[in-house]
Amino acid sequence: MSIGPDDELRGWSFLDDAASVDLGDVGSAGYTLAEAIRSDGERRLWIVDELVVGSPDADHGARQPPPHEELGPLPADWRDAIDDAPLRCGAPCADGRGPCRIVVSAPGHRCHWHRTSTRQQHRRTP
């Protein structure tokens, strides 16, 4: 199949089912090692999550990475979004659900809860 410069498939990759191997027997249930074929015929191996195959949100192998993944400084709109984001405590939560999301006033500061709990953990009893 020949693909012209304006073809709607240019830049996409297709999975070759005949060259795919299920990874469940090696401890990765739900994943497949698949050969992806780009519109120019180049073949690459992908590890594919079966739950997202066919999803419109899946990475279909577009050739150009998103602007925020390029080398060099971030694009202005990404920098602005990061600059406007609130600073968070980030200390590990005791319940194991991830980092603390309480807003703090400066980078590296801890929220009241984690400043207090850290001091109590390091106190020594006589």
Tell me the residue type at 117: S
pLDDT, tens only, 87-125: 999 999 888 888 999 999 998 899 988 887 655 554 444
Phi, psi of 122 (to 5 degrees): -95, -5
Q: Quick one: tokens of 102?
A: 């309480």
pLDDT, tens only, 41-88: 888 888 888 877 766 666 656 555 667 777 888 888 888 888 888 899
At residue 121, the 3 state secondary structure works out as helix
pLDDT: is 7 or 68 the higher one?
Answer: 68
Query: Predicted confidence band at 15 (pLDDT cuts at 50, 70, 90)?
Result: confident
List the domain boundaries for the chain: 13-68, 86-122
